[in-house]
Amino acid sequence: MARIIKETVRGIDIVDLEDELLQDREIFLTGGVDANSTNELIKQLMYLEREDDEAEITLYINSPGGEVTSGLAVYDYMTLMKAPIRTVSIGTAASMGALLFLAGDKRQMLPHTRIMIHDPSYANADMSGKKPHEIQHELDKLNETRQIIAQIIAEKTGKTLQEVYEVTANDTYYNAEEAVRFGLATEIIDSKSFGKGGKRV
């Protein structure tokens, strides 16, 4: 974990960089979406909302996606929060990473970042040895998850479910401009969005 030297009223302190950013209400999802990463994220969101339920929280996302159940747990929590949330794509927000990006009230992208959306899949699940009714049950659950994800995308983008299904049938990537046009992102961050020292104005 990165640490920085900071001058405080107590003198010179060495503090964790993530703790310093947390004080500025900036948190990160970098890497896969799983039980560990989402539990940590929920705890940070919970802490920041208890500190101030009116001040904006910024969530930076660079994630290839991951577990649907874990991702939807964070999505649900984010949409129930009183504090406004700004999501920023800083690399690639793919799959469940893209869905968490959509949870933001403001959804911003750096100029050369990408978003990828697609239907859920079984990944490496083994269907061998399963009976037909067991396979059908798994397919029914997968289609139910597909509908949940499509409804979220449709609600956030203003597209119809059919329009969403057409693009999520395959891995569909959007650059920043395309993401804004489709409704996935609300704006692209440029030099005018930042002041001196990288502080937002």
Average confidence score pLDDT of the chain:
88
Identify whether 187 is part of a domain: yes
For 158-170, what is each residue's pLDDT tens digit?
999 999 999 999 9
Domain containing residue 42: 27-198
Q: Per the domain annotation, does 190 fall within a domain?
A: yes
**Which is more confident, 11 or 92?**
92
Domain CATH number, residue 116: 3.90.226.10
- pLDDT interval class at 201 (50, 70, 90): very low
128 is catalytic: no
Q: Which of 70, 118, 121, 128 is catalytic?
A: 118
Overall number of domains in the chain: 1
| Any domain includes 15 | no
Within-domain flag for 19? no
Cβ 14 vs Cβ 5: under 8 Å = yes
The whole-angstrom separation of Cα 2 and Cα 138 is 43
At residue 33, the 3 state secondary structure works out as: strand
In a domain, 1, yes or no: no
Of 65, 26, 64, nearest in space to 44 by CA? 26
Indicate whether 44 belongs to any domain: yes
Q: What's the whole-model pTM score?
A: 0.86
| Catalytic hit among 95, 133, 137, 191 | 95
| Residue showing tokens 């956030």 | 156
pLDDT at site 5 = 61
What are 82-137's pLDDT values in tens digits? Answer: 999 999 999 999 999 999 999 999 999 999 999 999 999 876 566 666 788 887 88
Q: What is the pLDDT of residues 173-195, one digit of tens each?
A: 999 999 999 999 999 998 666 54
Q: Is residue 174 part of a domain?
A: yes
Q: Residue 199: is its pLDDT beyond 60?
A: no
